[in-house]
Structure 1
Amino acid sequence: MSKKDSHPYRKVAIAACFGTFLEWYDFLTFATLAVVFAPLFFPSSDPNAALLASLATFGVGMVVRPMGAALFGSMGDRIGRKPVFMITIALMGFATVCVGFLPTYAQAGIWAPILLVSLRLLQGLSAGGEIGGSAVYLTEHAGNDYRGFKTSFLQLMGPLGILFSTLQITFLRGYLSPEEFQSWGWRVPFWISILLLLIAFKARMALEETPIFLELSKTQQKNESPLLNNFRDPHTRKRMFLLFFCISAGGAVLFFCVQVYTAIFLKASVKLPPEVVDQLSIYATLALFPLTILAGLLSDKIGRKPVVVSGLCLGALFILPAFYLLTALGAQYLNDPSKGLNLIFIGLLLVCLSLALALVVGPQTAMLAELFPAKTRNSAATLPHNLAAGWIGGLLPLIVTWLNQEWGNALAGLWYPTIFLGAAFVIAWLYLPETRDVTLSN
């Protein structure tokens, strides 16, 4: 890309990434507060049952993501990428702001969890149209040179959303008493999203439609039934499966293991103080940023497939040993908090887990677009991607916690992501195509 062309792309990238950051911030703040929501909205004499109910509410937002992907993905192929962006950002912002004003179970009884679940459904529909569609939008603007590097920044928006949310919660926990935080402090991150929504909406108003979609419009190549045609075409169907199982599900499993479940595990199972866990999560997330960008750049040099396959393999081999070590090191720290070296080792383990995640998601944005032809790209990419993220990744904390409780072992449930990543590694190694040199206009 020439220097002249780099400025418009930078503007597009910033606006697209900020909107996606807001989607992830809104969507994942709920996960960060799952332990807090349990007694507020799902009171129970059994704390484990309350936590499961809270995680299930987080999961229901993920389950409906494919519905949003089917709806908004097809709209993106028919009416354009930009209009869908405006709808999804408004829907997510509205639902998130409303969460900040919800009454608790003590105030409204059964209506409190019903309203919370309803708003999670709206968030899930919005995320289904945004996450995946934004990857197509940004990649179609990126050109053919260094696509992996230029689009890898979009993958930072999920960790950045968690980081921003975690920093707020850490500050609030330090500034407020536990009673004040439990009473009203947890609402603050949702209130702040009002300001972020206004900024994101204004930025997206200035965005232009992708040149590839505009060319399709001129040549009348738009598809009136893109989703149905995707399933009718065996080549597209095969690639949708590979995207679902290897790239998107593999990345989602690693994302929720590394960015979501580790914090829940360290707080609920290892019993580390919440403020300590939040600080460790911040350091691990900061390490993920350069690792993801480097993985995207590496995929431009050696190809997308070797990078993704390496991440799946590392995740399959490392998750169980890492959590065993997290348990042991956490117990040692609790026995003697003066030994800060244990916390350093825990932080290094989280960084190693982040490396596996970065290798899979660094090239992911580019591959979402590169796998499919232009006229059905949005629908072909968004549905399997959100199906994987919603049903495989989003339900992972719930499934792992349930398996742990069924087996009476805090680590038993981790066999689920381990086996899944192992299977994804084998299938990707055998069948995943290399897409680095694909021309996106075709």
Structure 2
Amino acid sequence: MSNTYYPLFKKNHSYRKVAIAACFGTFLEWYDFLTFATLAVIIGPLFFPSNNANTGLLASLATFGVGMVVRPIGSALFGSLGDRIGRKPVFMITISLMGFATVCVGFLPTYAQIGIWAPILLVGLRLMQGLSAGGEIGGSAVYLTEHAGDENRGFKTSFLQLMGPLGILASTLQITFLQQSLTPAEFLSWGWRVPFWVSLLLLMIAFYIRKSLEETPVFLQLTQGIEKNQSQLLNNFKDQEIRERMFLLFFCISSSGAILFFCVQVYVSVFLKTSVKLPPQLVDHLNIFATIVLLPLTIFAGWLSDKIGRKPVIVSGIFLGSTLLLPAFQLLESFGGQYLQLQENIFLLAIGIVMTILSLFLSLVVGPQSAILAELFPARSRNSAATLPHNLAAGWVGGLLPLIVTWINQVWGTSLAGLWYPTLFLMLAAISASRLLPETHKFKLSD
């Protein structure tokens, strides 16, 4: 890249503006996508009525998982488009698709109103959300990282990783407020729809902000070459080095981050509500606390990866998660049971400490994730090479985790047996990452 173009670009379009637009759009994607997970316990009986509460919960979690399963399809489609037509146009498409599907969920009739068509339409909208998330999540990391330049990328891009927790936080706070303001009958009748309706306003704001953004300087440089209109998706699998790095991204980084994210941010809430039987509103308050704690830890992990490298930070998080995930849930079950018996706040404090430790493991993996996701690949194939394995891991490994863990628990008749699945996966990922993952924090993105 010429020495004159990039400063001019930076002068006219500050990185702060780019970061706000990219992060707000990703926040909307996560808010839309994870509101369903936050409401899974409530939505289950409304769309999947059953005499067995466990069956309804499984059906609701399966519907959440469906949206995650199609994420790789969305990443393959939109990731390839991002390498061909640019990063920005793909952003506009994906955010519009997600917003439309989410608003429609808010107006969807329940099973009692239209019968079997209710779950069918719900699954269809979840598929649409999954396709959108596949193009947005991962592609936004490439977009932001390419704007960040070559200095302090870990710190600058770590803010993008806050959008998932903030999406859950906004959804949880909103649901908590509605549950406290409405009667149980009002909430079940229409109150649960409000978070989906709010996404329409958020969509309008995000669309307006993103409309004014420019393409990344790295992609603009590529448009001057002869390969600007070529699809790189198939070429990625022909290149041995890119193929190997795609596998490392999938198995070590993205899968581990997805497992820890859904264990810490999604499944802990389901576990405390359904297995431990803590009051739902109390669990929501604990989840809010854990999410707030996660935010500075994530930024710290991104900053630390600029100082000592991406690999030691990420490997440490995976290793700690693999060894302490199961004991942490055992402690949550024990402290939760003692709180129900004795009603002493000291046990709530203990639960909060355990959730903070889990948040630390997660932050070490996801803090540097946006930066390394882009740094692993050359510019010409970065969008498609990064988004496909990242969304494959998030969709098939992380997204199905609550369903698989819950199903294993029900088969074995215990509340903890299913956690051996993420524990063993993390152990293998920790070993592979420590041996094979390259260090990338000094890599120049224009190469």
TM-score using structure 2 length:
0.97
Secondary structure of the residue aligned to 1:218 is coil
2:157 paired with 1:151: yes
Report the alpha carbon displacement of residue 223 of structure 1 after superposing the two structures with TM: 5.4
Could you tell me which of 405, 422, 440 is aligned with 2:427? 422
Report the alpha carbon displacement of residue 183 of structure 1 after superposing the two structures with TM: 1.1
Q: 1:95 is matched with which residue?
A: 101
Equivalences for 1:26-425 in 2 at 5 Å?
Answer: 26-222=32-228, 224-337=230-343, 339-425=344-430
**Contact 1:223 1:375 (8 Å CA) reproduced:** no
**Contact 2:23 2:160 (8 Å CA) reproduced:** yes
The amino acid that maps onto 1:372 is F
How many angstroms apart in 2 are the aligned matches of 1:411 and 1:222?
Answer: 51
The amino acid that maps onto 1:299 is S
Question: How many residue pairs are counted as aligned between the two chains?
Answer: 441
How many angstroms apart in 1 are the aligned matches of 2:310 and 2:229?
Answer: 28
**Contact 1:70 1:382 (8 Å CA) reproduced:** yes
TM-score using structure 1 length:
0.98
Q: Structure 2: which 5+ residue stretches go unaligned?
A: 1-5
Query: CA deviation digits over 1:305-349, x for unaligned, max 9?
Result: 000000001101111111101011111111122x11110110110
Query: CA deviation digits over 1:51-74, x for unaligned, max 9?
Result: 000000000000000000000000
The amino acid that maps onto 2:101 is A
Query: CA deviation digits over 1:236-289, x for unaligned, max 9?
Result: 000000000000000000000000000000001100001000000000000000
- RMSD over equivalenced CA pairs, Å: 1.3
How many angstroms apart in 2 are the aligned matches of 1:161 and 1:47?
Answer: 27
2:443 paired with 1:438: yes
Query: CA deviation digits over 1:179-199, x for unaligned, max 9?
Result: 111111100000000100000
How many angstroms apart in 1 are the aligned matches of 2:187 and 2:264?
Answer: 26
Could you tell me which of 31, 40, 52 is aligned with 1:25? 31
Secondary structure of the residue aligned to 1:434 is coil
How many angstroms apart in 1 are the aligned matches of 2:225 and 2:316?
Answer: 40
**Contact 1:223 1:376 (8 Å CA) reproduced:** no
Sequence identity of aligned pairs in percent? 73
How many angstroms apart in 1 are the aligned matches of 2:428 and 2:299?
Answer: 26
Report the alpha carbon displacement of residue 220 of structure 1 after superposing the two structures with TM: 2.8
Q: Structure 1: which 5+ residue stretches go unaligned?
A: none
The amino acid that maps onto 1:343 is L
How many angstroms apart in 2 are the aligned matches of 1:342 and 1:72?
Answer: 47
Report the alpha carbon displacement of residue 5 of structure 1 after superposing the two structures with TM: 4.2
Query: CA deviation digits over 1:17-38, x for unaligned, max 9?
Result: 0000000000000000000011
